[in-house]
Amino acid sequence: SRKMVISNDVTKLERTDAMRRDFVANVSHELKTPLTVLAGFLETVRELPLADEERMRYLGLMDQQSKRMEHIVSDLLVLAHIEADPKAPGDAPVDIARLMRHLRDEALGLSAERHAISFTIEAGLSVTGAEGELASAFGNLLTNAVRYTPVGGEIHVRWWTEEGGAVFSVSDDGIGIPVEHIPRLTERFYRVDRSRSRDTGGTGLGLAIVKHVLQRHEARLSIRSQVDRGSTFTIHFPPHRSVPARAVDA
């Protein structure tokens, strides 16, 4: 009935509003924590007579906190930009193998530590869309694979086709994700448990960005994981965005 429809709409509006309020509260909290730590170190450096070496150590810690805030703000900007962009992502072909190789170097550059990352993506295999957005999405998946996999672990990037659509997967043999968390991973600021792994410096925004980018490309993300065994993130592109690999020329 009509009444039903109206009350449904109201509930939806209320829910959106509550989500927005939650989001603002979350952003404030996520920024306040490093800011408080930063202010604490700043006061120490200003108030205490420190040896040069000690002072350098504090400055290093302050640097870490400010980088963390910078990281959060830049992820928020990416998310805001994607959400506010009314244009469809377009249909320029994006060479996924080339993109992935570039992103791998960036992901591995996160630390001096090394992981074995193997690729089975043919050069020339493309999907259509916005290259910058796709780089954010794939970059987040690769960075997570590196972050949540102990050094020496293996990360595989694969592709195949399903019903005419290109499918890509990023899998790792890292710490995995308890099954009850999987449905919530793409929520903003959702993180499984900060203490279970080395401090990864994550923001909890990465998979929210992935989800938005893929939605705009009519693509779908599926997540499979097992604790202590590893995780696989699979992206399904629709056929109209999938361009078959051309003959490899390099």
When asked if residue 89 is in the footprint of ligand ADP (CB under 6 A), the reply is no
Stretch 166-185: interaction string toward ligand ADP, x if CB under 6 A: ------x-xxxx-------x
Residue 147, Cβ density class (10 Å: 0-12 exposed, 13-18 middle, ≥19 buried): buried
Residue labelled with tokens 């078959």? 244
Residue 205 gets the label, from left (phi > 0), alpha (psi -120 to 50) or beta, of alpha
Residues 6+ apart with CB under 8 A from 208: 79, 186, 187, 188, 189, 190
When asked if residue 65 is in the footprint of ligand ADP (CB under 6 A), the reply is no
Tell the smallest beta-carbon distance from residue 172 to ligand ADP (Å): 5
When asked if residue 101 is in the footprint of ligand ADP (CB under 6 A), the reply is no
When asked if residue 138 is in the footprint of ligand ADP (CB under 6 A), the reply is no
When asked if residue 148 is in the footprint of ligand ADP (CB under 6 A), the reply is yes
CB atoms within 10 A of CB 7: 11
Tell the smallest beta-carbon distance from residue 205 to ligand ADP (Å): 6
Which residue, 100 or 205, has its beta carbon nearer to ligand ADP?
205
Cα torsion 54, 56, 62, 63 to 10°: value is -160
Question: Mapping DSSP to helix (H, G, I), strand (E, B) and coil, where does residue 184 land?
Answer: helix
When asked if residue 234 is in the footprint of ligand ADP (CB under 6 A), the reply is no
CB atoms within 10 A of CB 95: 18
When asked if residue 157 is in the footprint of ligand ADP (CB under 6 A), the reply is no
When asked if residue 204 is in the footprint of ligand ADP (CB under 6 A), the reply is yes
Which residue, 12 or 229, has its beta carbon nearer to ligand ADP?
229
Contact pick of 191, 220, 238, 245 for ligand ADP (by CB under 6 A): 191
Contacts to ligand ADP by CB under 6 A: 140, 144-145, 148, 172, 174-177, 185, 190-192, 202-208, 231
